[in-house]
Amino acid sequence: MMLGAVDTVMLSQYSDNSVAAVGVVNQLIMFAFLIFEVINIGTSVLCSQYLGARMHKNMVQVVGVSLILNLVFGLFVSAILHYGATSLLSMMGLRPELMEYGVSYMKIVGVFAFFQAISLTISASLRSANKAVYPMMVTVVVNILNIIGNYSLIFGKFGMPALGVEGAAISTAFARGVSMVILFVILFRKHIPRFPLSYFCPFPFVELKNLLKIGVPSAGENMSYSFSQVVLTYFINMLGNEALATRTYVVNIVMFVYLFAIAMAQGGAICIGHLVGERKIHAAYLLGKYVMRISILVSLVLSCIWALMGHTLFSWLTDNPEIIRLGTIILFIDVILEVGRAINIYATNALRATGDVNYPFYVGFVVQWSVAVGCGFLFGIHWGWGLVGMWCAFVLDENLRGIIFVQRWNSLKWTKKGFVK
């Protein structure tokens, strides 16, 4: 996620068209990466509960099976993104003047997608074992490496050729490769020194079944959201290059707001998973409410700061007055959106950690497509409110789901969904 944002910010000094093209590509890539979440979410939930219940062998089996499956998925996704770049971007309606940028970026980043598949799996297992500091440190190092690589290859510094968008893609792919290697070293040295063959003979089909039982509906909710965003990006593309570039800038700016919500959700979900594994249900319930409130408060404060700084931020990113005007308005609307998003990010992760994986999927699927997509088209395209209208639809979507998920958490119906009996 951060690598794509860094690419967007640095390409803003190259051209607005390159930003618009890479924004569409990253939407497709993030959707493709959600295939890996089928396994990663299951890995995180099962490892958290097994560690809480002191079931070490089961935890090792889960991680081993997850690595094998996501390697296979990763190679498949890599082939699709690389060889299908032109067809996929044409389906998105990317304009001819943006196509060259989009295809070159997607081919390079896409062919190495399997790096991300492995990295996400290892990170999920480390976080579930209360070793989240290691993925965080790797993320910091890799982002610094990507910034240096982008600066060198986009603009031709330090004796490197000026490759523009291709340079950003090469830097991102290389950074993801480095991330995978470092995480592998950490996995073997700090978490699981070895994977005994006896743990996998016979093959642990029970753990595979549990992974899919958790992962399919959980990733289904994420895929529904991401695919709805792909459709909405297609609608925004209909509004023109300026709207598309504005959307790309805004998405990457507000990402620094909800990154905190994601961090809180991941940490809180791991703790809740451990508590559920230990059968400390009331403690898990209270922790969930407490962390959710903190997440909402911080997201609200950060989004207000970004909104007040909106004109300055956009003036730094672009000299296009329409993008600056539109982006500044969107950031103020987004303040309300971030409240709902903070609740959704935390509540869905917390519910999954307890084993309540189907409910977030059903709610997400219905509301995302009826409200975000349906009202987004109605407000933005049919009624002609443009990008502002679409963002209003996003506000309704996030906050409606947030209200529903808070009611679910308070109902305590998730207490009977655990995998440790």
* Chain segment 229-261, per-residue pLDDT in tens: 889 988 998 898 889 889 988 988 898 888 888
Count the alpha carbons within 13 Å of 255 in the hemisphere toward its beta carbon: 15
Q: Dump pLDDT digits (tens) for 49-99.
A: 788 778 888 888 999 999 999 999 999 999 999 999 999 999 888 888 889
Q: Dump pLDDT digits (tens) for 273-284.
A: 888 878 888 998
Q: Dump pLDDT digits (tens) for 165-204.
A: 899 999 999 999 999 999 999 999 988 888 888 888 888 8
Per-residue pLDDT, 420: 56
**pTM exceeding 0.85:** no
Average pLDDT over residues 22-43: 84
Which residue matches tokens 């004796």?
Answer: 159
Dihedral over Cα of 242, 317, 304, 341: its sign? positive
- For the cut 90, the answer to whether the pLDDT of residue 33 exceeds it is no
Kindly report the CA angle at 145 between 139 and 151, in degrees rounded to 5?
135
Phi/psi class of residue 318: alpha, beta or left (left: φ > 0; alpha: ψ in -120 to 50)?
beta
Q: How far apart are CA 90 and CA 92, in angstroms?
A: 5
Largest interatomic CA distance in the chain: 64
Is residue 50 a contact partner of residue 62, using CB atoms and an 8 Å limit? Answer: yes
Phi/psi class of residue 386: alpha, beta or left (left: φ > 0; alpha: ψ in -120 to 50)?
left
- For the cut 70, the answer to whether the pLDDT of residue 421 exceeds it is no
Dihedral over Cα of 237, 239, 241, 247: its sign? negative
